[in-house]
């Protein structure tokens, strides 16, 4: 274990290939980035070949913008994304026939005429259109280097600590260094190209419109790492160029691309978008036709900005050209070193709050893709630590204050028709994106979710009224940029009205991890409106078991062949039980004078049916005992009560925990990427670290992780990265039920390690070291005088933070407690 002073400035040691070190003094870097002096594992992904397919490229992002860097020597490809570049335009999906059909659908469900209920719901209750708008791409920049003749001593890497993607290689006597990053403070993507040792840069830059080819939503395992030849090139003609696309020079050394978004599902494209590339160089720069050219340069800095005319979900009157000009010109007034320093400082202000070491922290000398390829059969605890930090990097890069929330693919998407639309699937996937935000000390990343829910409360009130005749607001299992809230995708997928309610948990978690009355005051109207909807729409179960939702479903799962519609599934009851509890707590803290509302909510909550154990010993997914003994469905919706909720837990409800384990055993450990991650975090929450670790090994392996460490559903969905990270942290520190649990699910494979800056509920931050599977040291930071309960195995220790809000505990104190 590394015991050095955690406050000492980080310093890296390097293992450098002798050829690169001799050829590029001053530009040489580690073939492998070693452990930092503060005990963190290496924070770099690195590769010895350029990227071939998209899932081998490296992502950069600033929340609003994303780019994939391929690291090709003769032609760099920079694939671009902008967070508001969805298809379509403002629309109202409410179905005017839904309210009249609602009692008929409910009656058919009560009669167990599920097929007839689905047919009527399909005809009369689905949104118009029945699909939402997909997330698009902003195209590719293809940069041809005219004088590159070869590439040796090649390395590309992504340094998570600085958020910079780097490509290095030699070409004869010439050393090439390329750095790419997406700057949050300057709002641009920056690509710096430098040469040393002879030779000059001659390059042509062209733009390629995004392709409309849809990636298949298959279960095909990812292909092994292939890499690309150093001279692999693509054509700007390969994309489909829309008729409205314009590419032209835009002043000195700049190229401007203007276009319009796609139409989809009968909704016309209403967004204008712009991409501007500005070059600064010591060579000659000019825009010729639809190309940007640089000749005779030793350094080139390319500044890229993208924007759309989106103002909000109902307003598309913005001026994207003015925005991209303003951002690139402002950035051009800064020297490169200042752009880079400002970017790194802004990133590290958030990223450096937290560190993790699992195992010795010794450097693994293999390229990242080789570690992934053997992770299921070879012990590599450092890969799990890298996975955590990569997820933190991805969340910071795809969800920052002022941006849209992270969608199904975070911020990165290759074409205009991504799998499942690349939008917001809120029956698990968007929620999972934010599971690690608070424990991993990235609370700022949640701000986009708050703003999205404030929009959904407005559009969802329309659907609540028109579809259900109810107060409050509702969102079903998907939403998009235009904040559509009606059910979509057909009744066996979309007739689930709990999406908005579940998303409220992300906001409540923020309050529990960072207690703040101003935040609570802002989210209370959202909680109250969501609760009012269910007060109005729940109905009496015909068998006298309480109040239930109808029509509803257990997300994406059929209880009988072809039948998903039902009344009162377990997940609905669990989420509503939580929602009402949060709302009542906020009502009390904020002293809402509406006492009648609180009484109604308490009475309604008391009538929710309890969780049930079925004939197989399983936790029932439905009110009826319909679970099958060989059901390996990806969703485990009825286990929401275990995680992310805490209603079912090892301390208070052992019988229900036993039933939940039976359900998980039936489902199996292997599933899609995100579903594997949920299984991992469930076993961790239930205290089985070795089972969780076994599942993690599969998640990190080549069937569920692409060479660039993106999660493979397959295809790519980013939620598995975030869910897997939440599971890893749950194995080390948990906080629920008024307690902080130390090493509650530590696997045998991780006898030693440390965490710095992990957060717990109650506004507490922890540093923890362990060795030999035992806590050695613990440091706590929070509010002065706060009283905490620490659980370590069967022992519980009461701690009071001192006048500075701190406490330090030796492992022997915990052993003796």
Q: Which residue has the tokens 């030796």?
A: 810
CB atoms near residue 129 (< 10 Å): 17
Residue 800 has pLDDT above 60, yes or no: yes
CB 529 within 8 A of CB 464: no
- Please name the helix (run of DSSP H) or strand (run of DSSP E) that holds residue 308, with its range, or none: strand 299-308
Residue 364's pLDDT is 84
Peptide bond into 551 cis (omega under 30): yes
Question: Which stretches within 641-765 are classed as H helix?
Answer: 654-667, 673-685, 689-699, 719-732
Residue 38's pLDDT is 35
Among 33-47, 290-304, 665-679, where is mean pLDDT lowest?
33-47
> If you count them, how many residues does the chain have?
817
Residue 185 has pLDDT above 90, yes or no: yes
CA distance 256 to 309: 15
Helix axes 689-699, 673-685, angle to 10 degrees: 160
Nearest CA to 37 among 442, 436, 355? 355
Residue 214's pLDDT is 53
Residue 765 has pLDDT above 90, yes or no: yes
> Residue 222 — very low, low, confident or very high, per pLDDT cuts 50/70/90?
confident
> Residue 812 — very low, low, confident or very high, per pLDDT cuts 50/70/90?
confident
> Residue 814 — very low, low, confident or very high, per pLDDT cuts 50/70/90?
confident
> Residue 198 — very low, low, confident or very high, per pLDDT cuts 50/70/90?
confident
Average pLDDT value for residue range 520-530: 98
Distances (CA, A) of 51 to 68, 156, 166, 230, 582: 10, 9, 13, 10, 47
Positive or negative, the Cα torsion across 69, 327, 187, 459? negative
Question: Which stretches within 668-810 are classed as H helix?
Answer: 673-685, 689-699, 719-732
Report DSSP state, residue 637.
G
Residue 391's pLDDT is 98
Residue 574 has pLDDT above 80, yes or no: yes
Distances (CA, A) of 774 to 702, 767, 788: 32, 14, 20
Positive or negative, the Cα torsion across 660, 661, 663, 669? positive
Average pLDDT value for residue range 439-453: 98
CB 68 within 8 A of CB 171: no
Burial of 266 (0-12, 13-18, 19+ CB in 10 A): exposed
Please spell the DSSP secondary structure of 33-54, one letter per residue.
Answer: E---TTSPPP-EEEESS---SG
Average pLDDT value for residue range 267-290: 96
Residue 244's pLDDT is 84
CA 794 to chain centre: 34
CA distance 598 to 809: 41
Residue 9 has pLDDT above 50, yes or no: no
Residue 14's pLDDT is 26
CA distance 488 to 782: 44
Distances (CA, A) of 212 to 86, 263, 279: 13, 12, 29
> Residue 241 — very low, low, confident or very high, per pLDDT cuts 50/70/90?
low
Positive or negative, the Cα torsion across 565, 568, 574, 578? positive
Residue 725 has pLDDT above 90, yes or no: yes
Q: How far apart are the first and last CA of the chain?
A: 25
Among 14-23, 304-313, 708-717, where is mean pLDDT lowest?
14-23
pLDDT digit string, tens, across residues 42-53: 799 999 999 999
Distant-in-sequence contacts of 240-246, Cβ < 8 A, 24+ apart? 240/209, 240/210, 240/211, 240/212, 241/209, 242/209, 245/209
Residues near 607 by Cβ (< 8 Å), separated by ≥ 6? 546, 547
Percent of the chain's residues with pLDDT above 90: 89
Nearest CA to 203 among 279, 145, 255? 145
Residue 22's pLDDT is 29
Peptide bond into 129 cis (omega under 30): yes
pLDDT digit string, tens, across residues 48-103: 999 999 999 999 999 999 999 999 999 999 999 999 999 999 999 999 999 999 99
By DSSP bridging, strand 787-792 and strand 739-742 are: parallel
CA distance 456 to 500: 8
Q: Which two tokens stand for residue 655?
A: 């019988």
CA 793 to chain centre: 32
Burial of 15 (0-12, 13-18, 19+ CB in 10 A): exposed
Q: What is the mean pLDDT of the chain?
A: 93
Distances (CA, A) of 526 to 460, 486, 530: 11, 18, 6
CA distance 539 to 306: 49
Please spell the DSSP secondary structure of 117-182, one letter per residue.
Answer: HHHHHHHHTS-SSSS-PPB----EEEEEETT----EEEEEEEETTTTEEEEEEEETTEEEEEEEEE
Residue 1's pLDDT is 33
Report DSSP state, residue 59.
E
Residue 30 has pLDDT above 70, yes or no: no
Q: Which two tokens stand for residue 360?
A: 């010795």
> Residue 275 — very low, low, confident or very high, per pLDDT cuts 50/70/90?
very high
Query: What CATH number should be reported for the domain whose range is 40-86+136-360?
Result: 2.70.98.50
Residue 339 has pLDDT above 50, yes or no: yes
Residue 237's pLDDT is 83
pLDDT digit string, tens, across residues 608-620: 999 999 999 999 9
Residue 18's pLDDT is 29
Residue 654 has pLDDT above 70, yes or no: yes
Assign 307 to helix, strand or coil.
strand
Residue 552's pLDDT is 98
Residue 219's pLDDT is 54
Average pLDDT value for residue range 364-368: 90
């Amino acid at each position: 274990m590394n015991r050095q002073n955690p406050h000492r400035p980080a310093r890296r040691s390097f293992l450098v290939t002798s050829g690169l070190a001799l050829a590029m003094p001053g530009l040489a870097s580690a073939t492998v980035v070693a452990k930092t002096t503060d005990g963190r594992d290496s924070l770099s992904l690195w590769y010895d070949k350029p990227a071939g397919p998209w899932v081998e490229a490296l992502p950069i992002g600033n929340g609003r913008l994303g780019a994939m860097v391929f690291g090709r020597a003769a032609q760099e490809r920079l694939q671009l994304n902008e967070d508001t570049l969805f298809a379509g335009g403002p629309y109202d999906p409410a179905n005017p026939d839904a309210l009249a059909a609602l009692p008929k659908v409910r009656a058919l469900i009560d009669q167990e005429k599920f097929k007839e209920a689905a047919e009527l719901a399909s005809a009369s209750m689905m949104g118009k259109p029945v699909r939402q708008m997909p997330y698009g791409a902003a195209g590719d920049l293809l940069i041809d280097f005219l004088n590159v003749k070869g590439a040796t001593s090649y390395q590309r890497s992504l340094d998570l600590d600085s958020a910079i993607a780097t490509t290095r290689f030699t070409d004869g006597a010439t050393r090439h260094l390329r750095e790419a990053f997406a700057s949050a403070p300057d709002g641009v993507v920056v690509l710096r190209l430098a040469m040393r040792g002879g030779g000059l840069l001659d390059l042509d830059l062209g733009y390629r419109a995004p392709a409309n080819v849809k990636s298949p939503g298959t279960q095909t395992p990812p292909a092994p790492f292939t890499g690309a030849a150093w001279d692999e090139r693509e054509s700007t003609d390969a994309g489909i160029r829309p008729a409205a696309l314009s590419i032209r020079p835009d002043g000195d050394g700049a190229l401007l691309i203007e276009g319009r978004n796609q139409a989809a599902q009968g909704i016309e494209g209403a967004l204008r978008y712009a991409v501007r590339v500005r070059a600064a160089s010591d060579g000659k720069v000019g825009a010729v036709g639809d190309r940007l050219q640089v000749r005779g340069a030793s350094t080139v800095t390319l500044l890229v900005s993208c924007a759309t005319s989106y103002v909000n979900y109902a307003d598309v009157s913005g001026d994207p050209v003015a925005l991209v000009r303003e951002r690139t010109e402002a950035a051009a007034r800064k020297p490169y070193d200042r752009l880079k320093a400002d970017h790194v400082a802004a990133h590290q202000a958030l990223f450096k709050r937290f560190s993790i070491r699992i195992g010795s922290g010794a450097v693994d000398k293999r390229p990242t893709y080789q570690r992934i390829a053997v992770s299921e059969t070879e012990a590599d605890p450092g890969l799990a630590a890298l996975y955590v930090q990569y997820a933190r990097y991805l969340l910071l890069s795809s969800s920052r204050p002022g941006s849209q929330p992270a969608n199904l693919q975070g911020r990165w998407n290759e074409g205009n028709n991504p799998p499942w639309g690349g939008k917001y699937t809120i029956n698990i996937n968007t929620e999972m994106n934010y599971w690690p935000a608070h424990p991993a000390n990235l609370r700022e990343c949640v701000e986009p979710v708050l703003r999205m829910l404030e929009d959904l409360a407005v559009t969802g009130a329309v659907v609540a009224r028109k579809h259900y005749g109810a107060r409050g607001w509702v969102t079903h299992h998907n939403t998009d940029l235009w904040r559509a809230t009606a059910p979509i995708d057909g009744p066996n997928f979309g007739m689930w009205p709990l999406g908005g309610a579940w998303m409220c948990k992300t906001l409540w978690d923020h309050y529990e991890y960072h207690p703040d009355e101003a935040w609570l005051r802002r989210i209370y109207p959202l909680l109250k409106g969501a609760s009012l909807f269910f007060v109005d729409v729940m109905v009496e179960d015909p068998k006298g078991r309480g109040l239930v939702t109808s029509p509803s479903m257990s997300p994406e799962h059929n209880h009988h062949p072809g039948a998903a519609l039902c009344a009162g599934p377990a997940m609905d009851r669990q989420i509503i039980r939580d929602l009402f509890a949060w709302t009542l707590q906020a009502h009390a803290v904020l002293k809402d004078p509406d006492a009648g509302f609180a009484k109604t909510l308490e009475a309604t909550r008391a009538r929710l049916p309890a969780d049930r154990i079925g004939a197989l010993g399983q936790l029932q997914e439905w009110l009826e005992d319909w679970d099958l003994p060989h059901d390996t469905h990806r969703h485990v919706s009825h286990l929401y009560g275990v995680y992310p909720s805490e209603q079912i837990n090892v301390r208070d409800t052992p019988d229900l925990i036993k039933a939940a384990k039976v359900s998980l055993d039936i489902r199996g450990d292997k599933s899609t990427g995100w579903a594997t991650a949920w299984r991992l975090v469930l076993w961790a929450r239930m205290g089985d670290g070795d089972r969780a670790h076994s599942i993690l090994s599969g998640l990190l392996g080549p069937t569920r992780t692409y060479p660039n460490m993106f999660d493979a559903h397959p295809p790519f969905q980013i939620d598995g990265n975030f869910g897997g990270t939440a599971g890893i942290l749950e194995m080390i520190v948990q906080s629920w039920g008024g307690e902080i649990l130390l090493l509650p699910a530590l696997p045998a494979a991780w006898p030693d390690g440390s965490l710095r800056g992990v957060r717990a509920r109650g506004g507490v931050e922890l540093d923890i070291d362990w060795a030999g599977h035992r806590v050695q040291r613990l440091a706590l930071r929070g509010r002065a005088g706060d009283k905490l309960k620490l659980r370590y195995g069967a022992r519980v220790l009461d701690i009071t933070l001192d006048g500075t809000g701190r406490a330090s505990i030796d492992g022997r104190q915990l052993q003796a407690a």
